Amino acid sequence: MSREQQAVARARKAFETGRSKCLDYRIMQLESLKRLFTERQKEIADALKKDLNKVRSEVASQLYETMGLEGEINLAVKNLKSWAAPRPVEKNLLTLMDTVYIRPEPVGVVLVIGAWNYPWAVTIQPLIGAIAAGNAAVIKPSEVCVHTAKVMEEFLPAYIDKELYPVVTGGVTETQELLRQRFDHIFYTGNSMVGKIIMEAAAKHLTPVTLELGGKSPCYIDKNCDITIACRRVAWGKYTNCGQTCIAPDYILCESSIQDRVIAEIKKAVKEFYTENPQTCTDYGRVINQRHFKRIMALIDDSTVAVGGQNEEANCYIAPTVLRDVKPDAKVMQEEIFGPVLPIITVSGLNEAIKFINKGEKPLALYVFTSDDKVIQKMIEETSSGAILANDCLVHYSISALPFGGVGNSGMGCYHGKFTFDQLSHLRSCLIKKLNMEGANTMRYPPHTPTKLNRARFFILKTANLGWIGWMMTLALFVVVAAIAIKKRITS
C-alpha cells in the first residue's frame, strides 16, 4: 500500500467509527485548530517567509491568511448546531400531514488539494468546512510552499485528530496517487488546466468536485468616478502578494481620455504603499519562483511599460508595473498574469468594455469603479462572473455571507461560511409519512380515470399561496375527500 493509500484508508476507517459526526467533537476539533494559529503563529509566519521569498511579514501573514481562518472557525462554532439541524421545508397539499425536512449529513472522506499563493487560507478554509460538516479529510498542501507544507504536516496532527484529518505532502506524483483513490468529494484550488485533470480523475469514481480556479479578472474604471481613490484600491488589489492573488484585478479597461490619470494615480499609490523603491520595502513581495518570473517577464515584452518594469531574476523581483495602450492580442492578454503587471486596454466606453469582457472566459471576479449606479447595474445585468465588486477590490473574499467561487472556466461550486458547510454536506431529503390516510392515495393507484386525474391535478398543481384560511379550508377538503374515498372502498 502506498503512503497515500494508507492515509485515505486510515481516514475512512476513522470516519466509519462515527466520531466525526458528533457535533461536540466537531466543535472541539475546530477550537483546537484555532489554537494552532495562535500558538504556532511564529512557525507559520517563518515558513511563509521562506516559501514566498520574503513576500510576507508576520503582520501580513495574519492579515491575509490566519485571521480569516480564525473568523471562519468562530462562525462555524457559533452556528454549527443550527447549520447541522434538520431544515423544515414548505409543505404542499400532498405533504400537509407529513414530516418533511432536509437533513445535512457528512459526505464521507474529502480530499483537499491546496495551492501555494495563500497556502494556509486556501488549504485550511475548506478543511474547516469539512470538519464542521462532520467529514474526514485528507489534506494535500501545495508542494510549491515546501516549508508551509512541512509545518502543516508537523503541527496539524498535534492539534486535530490525525486519523480523521491526515496530511499528505508531496508533488504531482503524490497528488496523482491520491487522485487514484476513492473520495466522497474533492476540493481543489489551483489553475484551470490542472482543474481538468482533477475532474477527469474524479469522474472515474463519480466523485463530486469543487474547483476553485483562476483566470483573468477584469477591472473597468469609469470616467465618472473618483480616479484617485479607485486607483489606490486597484493598486492595493493588484500588488498585494506581488499580484499572486486569484482575484487580483488582471487588467484595466478604461477610456483613453483617462488613461494618463489612471497611470499617474497608480504610480502615486505604489509610491505611498511601497516607497520610492519597492525592492527594499518589506511589504512588497516577490514572484514565487524563477519559472514564474520568466513567464511573467516574457508576457510583457510586446507591450509598453508606463510604470515600473525594473526586475532582478536572482531574487524574483518585478517592480509594480503598469502597461499602457495594450493590444487585446498582446501576450499579456492571453493568460492569467498572476504577477505584479497591470495592463491597461482602452475602450470607447462601458458598452465596449462589456463586449470585451464577454468575449473572454467568465472571470472569477469582476471589478467596476464608478459613481454612477446605472453603470454598476448595467455591468451586473450584462456580464457573468463568480463575483462582482463595485468600487473596491478583493474584499468580497472576506465576507462569509457571500458564496466564493467561480463560474465556467473560473470554477465550480463555492465556499466560505455556511456555503462550505453545505458544499461538503449531503443535503438528504427526508419525507416521513404515516400509514393512515390511504384514501388520499387512490388518485394515484390504477385504474387511472379522468376523475382521479382531475383530483391529482388539483392536489399536485394547486400549490399557490393560499394563506392561513385557505390552508385550513384545503385541509378540511382533503380530509373529506379522503373520508369519501375510504368509505367507497369499505362499501364496495
Which one from 145, 231, 242, 246 is the annotated catalytic residue? Answer: 246
**Distance of closest approach, residue 144 Cβ to ligand NAD, in angstroms:** 5
**Full DSSP string of 333-402:** GSS---SSEEEEEEESSHHHHHHHHHHSPPPSEEEEE-S-HHHHHHHHHH---SEEEES-SSGGGG-TTS
The three cell numbers of residue 461 are: 398543481
Which one from 212, 242, 393, 414 is the annotated catalytic residue? Answer: 212
Strand partners, 140: 113
**Distance of closest approach, residue 337 Cβ to ligand NAD, in angstroms:** 10
Tell me the residue nearest to ligand NAD as measured from the CB. Answer: 214
The residue from 120, 338, 421, 478 that contacts ligand NAD (CB under 6 A) is 338
Q: In the range 29-68, which residues lie near ligand NAD by CB under 6 A?
A: none
Question: Does 213 sit near ligand NAD (CB under 6 A)?
Answer: yes
Distance between CA atoms of 341 and 319, rounded to whole angstroms? 8
Q: Which residue has the cell 482533477?
A: 198
**Full DSSP string of 56-94:** --HHHHIIIIIHHHHHHHHHHHHHHHHHHS-EE----TT
**Distance of closest approach, residue 450 Cβ to ligand NAD, in angstroms:** 55
Distance between CA atoms of 14 and 283, rounded to whole angstroms? 43
**Distance of closest approach, residue 33 Cβ to ligand NAD, in angstroms:** 20
Residues in the chain: 492
**Distance of closest approach, residue 198 Cβ to ligand NAD, in angstroms:** 7
| Residue 204 CB partners (closer than 8 Å, separation 6+) | none
Specify the pairing of strand 217-221 against strand 365-369: parallel
Contact 167, 139 (CB under 8 A): yes
The residue from 31, 58, 98, 143 that contacts ligand NAD (CB under 6 A) is 143
Strand order in the sheet with 411-412: 136-140, 109-113, 185-189, 209-212, 411-412
Question: Does 104 sit near ligand NAD (CB under 6 A)?
Answer: no
The smaller minimum CB distance to ligand NAD, of residues 197 and 388, is found at 197
Long-range contacts of 382-389 (CB under 8 A, 24+ apart): 382/354, 382/358, 383/354, 383/357, 383/358, 384/408, 385/217, 385/410, 386/362, 386/410, 386/411, 386/414, 387/247, 389/365
**Distance of closest approach, residue 112 Cβ to ligand NAD, in angstroms:** 9
Question: Does 125 sit near ligand NAD (CB under 6 A)?
Answer: no
Size of the site for ligand NAD (CB under 6 A): 28
Tell me if residue 72 is catalytic: no
The residue from 66, 142, 207, 383 that contacts ligand NAD (CB under 6 A) is 142
Question: Does 140 sit near ligand NAD (CB under 6 A)?
Answer: yes
Distance between CA atoms of 422 and 49, rounded to whole angstroms? 34
**Distance of closest approach, residue 174 Cβ to ligand NAD, in angstroms:** 7
User: Site map for ligand NAD, 229-268, x if CB under 6 A?
Assistant: -----------------x----------------------
Q: In the range 305-334, which residues lie near ligand NAD by CB under 6 A?
A: none
Q: In the range 151-210, which residues lie near ligand NAD by CB under 6 A?
A: 171-172, 175-176, 189-191, 194, 197
Tell me if residue 145 is catalytic: no
Question: Does 115 sit near ligand NAD (CB under 6 A)?
Answer: yes
The smaller minimum CB distance to ligand NAD, of residues 252 and 364, is found at 364
Q: How many C-beta atoms lie closer than 10 Å to residue 455's C-beta?
A: 17
What is the binding site for ligand NAD (CB under 6 A)?
Answer: 113-117, 122, 140, 142-144, 171-172, 175-176, 189-191, 194, 197, 212-214, 246, 336, 338, 364, 406, 411
Positions marked active-site: 212, 246
